[in-house]
Amino acid sequence: MINIIFWNVRGIGNNDARVAFSEMCRLNNPSLVFVAEPMVLYDSIPNWYWHSIRVTNYCVNKRDPVVPNLWAVWGSDVLYTVIFASSQCLVMEHVCKGIKIYIVGVYASTSYITRPQLWADLTMLQTTLVGPWIFVGDFNAVLGAHEKRGRRLPPSISCNDFLTWTNANLLLHVNTNGVQYTWNNGRLDSASVFLRLDRAICNEAWNIFGEVLLARLL
């Protein structure tokens, strides 16, 4: 079984976050973890800490000149190959049961002007590399008004771009457990906004291959 975790840690430089991360790994025994918003450089975390949770391999996204905001970490018992990295995603290849599968950690831009590059990159990769695909993470977009609670409707151009990418590539939105809305602006008054930004999306090939997957969003 492949156990994938995407965690928006919102800063892993402090001791409390590292303790929580260690406990999460101990309880779930993931084979691959995507870490969003670590807010520090990977090398700033001491090696002894990574060894304590059996992390021996990592990669980060490309956001020069700013600090990467998406990591992937895994141990020596599973082989993952990084085949693509951008400012908005990390794409990993893994051979499972003799089949090449593709696992993508997504931390999309908050700008609807920038996100189309993500959809274009992922479409190009799916067209080139045929097989089971799974996308997990924060897409910073919703499919429509049913995925937002607040006074204003979500921008139609953002929703349409997101929906066009999923429909054009025949992707399926995976049912997930937990809260309906995964982000809010922290307001309790009439200005409060709740959105479903975090999710897992796969193609039909992954759905067929899905008995090897446990995708978990934290």
Number of folded domains in the chain? 1
Residue 3's CB is within 10 A of a number of other CB atoms, namely: 15
Q: Is the peptide bond prior to 154 cis by the omega test (within 30 degrees of 0)?
A: no
More confident residue, 3 or 210: 3
pLDDT in tens, 188-214: 888 899 999 999 999 999 988 865 444
Q: What's phi and psi for 199, nearest 5 deg? A: -170, 175
Does the predicted model carry a pTM greater than 0.85?
yes
Range from 58-62, 63-67, 167-171, 177-181 carrying the lowest mean pLDDT: 177-181
pLDDT in tens, 60-85: 999 989 999 999 999 999 999 999 99
Domain that holds residue 23: 2-217
Q: What's phi and psi for 93, nearest 5 deg? A: -110, 140
Instruction: Please report the pLDDT score of residue 214 as a whole number.
Output: 45
Q: Which amino acid, residue 212?
A: V
- CATH number, domain at 41? 3.60.10.10
pLDDT band, residue 162 (cuts 50/70/90)? very high
Q: What is the largest CA-CA distance in the chain?
A: 53
* Arithmetic mean of pLDDT over the chain: 93
Number of H helices, E strands in the chain: 5, 14
